[in-house]
Chains A and B, each alone.
Chain A
Amino acid sequence: MHGTFDSSDIDAVIVPVRHFSYRRVVLGRFMRQPIAMTAALILLAIVLAAIFANVVAPADPFQTRVARRLAVIGTEGRWLGGDELGRDVLSRLIYGGRISLSMAVLPVAIGLFVGGFLGILAGYAGGRTNMAIMRAMDVFYAFPSILLAVAIAGALGPGMMNGIIALSMVFIPPIARMAESVTTQVRSYEFVIAARLSGASTGRILREHVLSNVAGPILVFASSQVSVSIIAASGLSFLGLGVSPPYPDWGLMLSALRQSIYVNPWVAALPGAMIFICSVCFNLVSDGVRRAMEVRR
């Protein structure tokens, strides 16, 4: 253990990151979990396919073919079927990852920065600053999460940016709450008090002592929110509040193909299956990271 403080002071979730090989220890523990590793590899494959969609996808996702309208799974040239305009569903699923995954990950990233900043500020400053920030967060917390996103996006109108803004508002309060509670805990540790007594500036204490100790738990919590985010983000698109047609997006595709469940039911289920797979994998990876970071008892 690094430093001069007693390791028994450290809670299960708070681990010192200053130890030089700590990241490698966590990575090693993560890689020894077969389920989490498999989930991570599946996600990696989906992300890579989305990034290099122009190489991977067998067809142009925008090209319509009347003869291939609602083609069944296994049709030549439309291996996963055709949509209501005869476009290749497989290619649209691959391209769709670009928008769907961005709309899921960006709000959590924004929530991580804004919520993390507000939470650490509230936790470290304490007193009235804490009261003001956390009570404001409580108000946003008083809405069921998807409802809040739907209402904000509904008022702002359709569009990918509006969807991202609306979802960010959902993830800032819980991340801020988490950051506040860990920071409050870390602030009272002896090594922080010692740093303050030895004349370190507030900025330096925050940077070197607080941030390095709260970053881990906050990151783990934020990563657990990505699976929630992808369901909510595609839900917004499903309601027509995400990107507008003809851009491929899983939620939007699900909503369009839903009209044809009597003709071609299983093609209609595919975009939702992508959302489900990603959500499960994000959950498993986040669980794996948390387990890898746990201090062994």
Chain B
Amino acid sequence: MLLYILRRILYAVPIGIGVTFIVFSLVHIAPGDPISALLPNEATQEMVEAARKEFGLDRPFLVQYAIWLGNAAMGNLGTSIGSGRPVATEVASAVGNTFILAVSAGLVACVLGFLLGIVAGLWRDRPVDHVVNLITIAGVSVPHYWLAILLVIVFAVDLNWLPPLGMGPDRSGGWQFDWAHISHLILPTIATAAIPMAVIARTLRASVVDVLDQDFVTTLRAKGLPRQRLLWHVIRNALPTALAVMGLQLGNMLGGSVLVETVFAWPGTGFLLASAIFQRDLPLLQGTMLVLAMFFVFLNLVVDLVQSATDPRIRRA
């Protein structure tokens, strides 16, 4: 087991390095001189020269990458063009807000997806399976930003039950466990959770059906195992697949949050990314991407390890 963990971590290192390389290249695929992409338009000649030196833009590409990576490792992600504040500060204040939304949506997606998938798989080809199928097909196909707008139209504009945007009543961005804050969280949570919920349910249904078709289930049934105990065997065998897809979907939720956070003006990393694009603030784009992508790599690593803990066959491969 320990050997497996070490091997997985070693495997994640080159992937992580590759990810930083792609994020670094973003500024260089932007049209025009990278220096003009990194500085505000009204920058003076001295500022340009100073930045050229700081980022080492007169040096070879790989040296620039090394300098940038070194700075990033020390927590220096450059300066935002839009606000003039350090990118690291901007990202740090947004990460927590995205985390709140991700945890809330992740819980909803995993619990609902898990239940729907198990129910549909156990009652295969019965009416309940068809209903779940309908829900999940709509779920995997829905543009989540459109779902977000629909939710606002129905629950904020028409019914006036829930706030249409923001994170709290005072616009300060702080989080508290009271109704004023939770009411702001409900609609973004539904919009973010829809797609992952449907994908989890579909995958779980397929693996429950697979498990039920296996010989050992027939044996268990033949020897008269009570239904509840049989259910436990099915869940136990479907769990590794479920965990894998849940992990992947949680990561994809980070991607989807760009659009949902934009609709709800939720002050998280996705909103930050959207405003970075809107203002062509490339240092901010780069920094936010770096943090999100590294988190995704880390999440994949954790998923692999948890999966191997629940399924010993993976460790031997």
- A contacts, CB < 8 Å to B: 135-136, 138-140, 142-148, 150-152, 154-157, 227, 231, 234-235, 238-241, 254, 258, 261-262, 265-266, 268-269, 272-273, 275-276, 279-280, 282-284
Task: List residues of chain A with CB within 8 A of the CB of B212.
Answer: none
The answer to whether A262 touches B22 (Cβ under 8 A) is no
Whole-angstrom distance between the alpha carbons of A282 and B297 in the complex? 30
Rounded to whole angstroms, the CA-CA distance of A21 and B278 in the bound complex is 53
Known contacts A139-B19, A261-B157, A272-B143, A238 near B259 by CB under 8 Å: yes
**Contact indicator B280/A157 (Cβ below 8 Å):** yes
Q: Given contacts A147-B293, A284-B137, is CB(A235)–CB(B30) below 8 Å?
A: no
With A147-B255, A151-B289, A156-B29 known as contacts, the answer to whether A240 contacts B277 (CB < 8 A) is yes
Are A138 and B263 closer than 8 Å at their CB atoms? no
Are A144 and B149 interface neighbours, CB within 8 A? no
Q: What's the minimum C-beta distance from B188 to chain A, rounded to whole angstroms?
A: 15
For residue B28, which residue of chain A has the nearest CB? A155
- The proximity string for B residues 138-149 relative to A, scoring 1 for CB distances below 8 Å and 0 otherwise, is 101111111001
The residues in B between 135 and 180 inclusive whose CB is less than 8 angstroms from any CB of A are 137-138, 140-146, 149-150, 152-153, 157-158
Establish whether residues A146 and B152, one from each chain, have CB atoms under 8 Å apart when the complex forms.
Answer: no
Q: Give, as a whole number of angstroms, the nearest-CB distance from A179 to chain B.
A: 20
Contacts of B273 in A (CB 8 A): 147, 150-151, 154
CB–CB A276/B141 < 8 A: yes
Shortest Cβ distance from B288 into A: residue:
A151
Q: Give the shortest distance, in Å, between B36 (CB) and chain A (any CB).
A: 13
**Cβ contact of A142, chosen from B149, B152, B282, B293, cutoff 8 A:** B293
Q: Interface on chain B toward A: helix, strand, loop, or mixed SS?
A: helix
Asked if B143 and A276 sit within 8 Å, CB to CB, the answer is: yes
Measured in the bound complex, the distance between the Cα atoms of B252 and A148 in whole Å is 10
Question: Which listed residue (B14, B142, B263, B297) contacts A276, Cβ 8 A?
Answer: B142
Asked if A254 and B146 make an inter-chain contact with CB atoms under 8 angstroms apart, the answer reads yes
Contact for B19 among A142, A155, A284, CB less than 8 A: A142
Given contacts A155-B282, A258-B149, whether A241 and B277 have CB atoms under 8 Å apart is yes
Tell me the complex Cα distance, A254–B153, Å. 13
Residue of A nearest to B281 (CB): A154
Query: Which residues of B have CB within 8 Å of A142?
Result: 15-16, 18-19, 293, 296-297, 300
- Beta-carbon contacts of B253-264 to A below 8 Å, as 1s and 0s? 111101100110
CB distance B137 to A144 under 8 Å?
no
- Chain B interface: which size bin? 35 or more
Instruction: Report the bound CA distance from A284 to B137 in whole Å.
Output: 8
State how many angstroms separate the Cβ of B76 from the closest Cβ of chain A. Answer: 20
Question: Across the interface, which residues of A come within 8 angstroms of B289, CB to CB?
Answer: 147, 151
Q: Which residues of A contact B262 (CB under 8 A)?
A: 238-239
B152 x A275 contact (CB < 8 A): no
Given the known inter-chain contacts A152-B26, A279-B141, A280-B137, please indicate yes or no for A139 contacting B255, CB distance below 8 A: no
**A202, chain B: closest CB distance, angstroms:** 30
Q: How far is the CA of A238 from the CA of B270 in the complex (A)?
A: 14
Say yes or no for B276: interface residue by CB 8 A criterion: yes
Q: For chain B residues 95-154, which have a beta carbon within 8 Å of chain A?
A: 137-138, 140-146, 149-150, 152-153
Complex CA–CA separation, A145 to B296 (angstroms): 11
Asked if B84 is an interface residue, CB under 8 A from chain A, the answer is no
Task: List A contacts of B144 (CB < 8 A).
Answer: 231
A-B contact pairs, 18 of them (CB 8 A): A143-B19, A144-B256, A146-B256, A147-B254, A147-B255, A147-B293, A148-B255, A152-B26, A154-B26, A227-B140, A235-B145, A238-B145, A240-B277, A258-B263, A265-B157, A265-B158, A275-B143, A276-B146
B-side contacts of A139, CB under 8 Å: 15, 18-19, 21-22
Instruction: Contact check, A157 vs B149: say whether CB atoms are below 8 A apart.
Output: no
Q: Beta-carbon contacts of B231-273 to A below 8 Å, as 1s and 0s? A: 0000000000000000000011111101100110000000001
Chain B residues near A136: list those with CB within 8 A. 18
Having A144-B251, A265-B153, one finds 12 other A-B pairs with CB under 8 Å, namely A142-B18, A143-B19, A146-B258, A150-B258, A155-B285, A239-B262, A240-B278, A241-B277, A254-B149, A262-B157, A265-B158, A266-B153
Pairwise interchain contact B153-A140, C-beta atoms closer than 8 A: no
